[in-house]
Amino acid sequence: MFALLEVLASQPQPVALKLLAERTGLHPSTAHRILNDLAWGGLVERPSSGHYALGPKFISLGRLSLSRVDLQRAAGAAMKSLQQSLHLPVSLHVARDGTLVSLLETGTPPAGEAASLDASAAGRLLLDAQTAAGDPAVLAEQEADGSERLDAVVRNDAGQPAALLTVRCPAGATPPQARGELLAAAEGISRALGWIPGAGQP
């Protein structure tokens, strides 16, 4: 059953029974029986004879599951790992009432970080909920004290900016791996929120 669902989830169009049987190694009659049970429960539908696709109940269950994903819980482990690897403070910001607020922090970010983020390119990206394909994966900005702030966008299941993951680096001491690790952490959190790269999303 799980193998059949995995194949259906990987295909944008309805899949023929013969192909489903081949991909899963199941006998066609066994695959047909399991698919009938799934169709009865609404998890699979038959849009045409001999073809199957994920059903509407599967979609509604997925949305329900995503609605229960807590951003702080999804981000906590990734942020802790990033902070331990870079030995730098990591923070997560969200937009609320037209300003950015710190939702979660590891380490000790400098005072006034949220205020500086509001005026930054990354902050405007989140506040305006822009999703232009040309936006850099990691945005870097120099602060007045010479430090460098790196920001990566965390996206929700619709591909919209949901939060900013931020690392503040001392002047002239940005670790060479910081951008790559920050991007990987942001993408990991985004996936936990339901973002699927390349699935019709930014």
Does a structural domain hold residue 16? yes
Asked if residue 74 lies in contact with residue 66, where contact means CB atoms within 8 angstroms, the answer is no
149 Cβ partners below 8 Å, 6+ apart? 113, 116, 117, 120, 140, 141, 142, 143, 166, 167, 168, 169
pLDDT at 200: 46
Whole-structure pTM value: 0.59
Is 39 part of a structural domain of the chain? yes
CATH, residue 17: 1.10.10.10
The CB-side HSE value for 123 (13 A sphere, CA atoms) comes to 16
pLDDT (average), residues 83-89 = 91
57 and 146 share a domain?
no
Q: What is the average per-residue pLDDT within 44-53?
A: 90
For the segment 93-125, what is each residue's pLDDT rounded down to a tens digit? 887 777 777 777 887 655 556 556 666 666 766
Domain of residue 74 covers: 70-192
Residues 44 and 95 in one domain: no
Could you give the number of structural domains in the chain?
A: 2
- Which of the residue ranges 67-76, 82-91, 146-155, 185-194 would you say has the lowest mean pLDDT? 67-76
Phi and psi at residue 94, to the nearest 5°: -130, 160
Residue 155 has pLDDT above 60, yes or no: yes
Same domain assignment for residues 79 and 53:
no
- Per-residue CA distances from 12 to 122, 159, 160 (Å): 33, 18, 21
Residue where a domain stops, chosen among 65, 94, 120: 65
In the chain, the amino acid numbered 75 is: A
Binning pLDDT at 50, 70 and 90, where does residue 29 land? very high
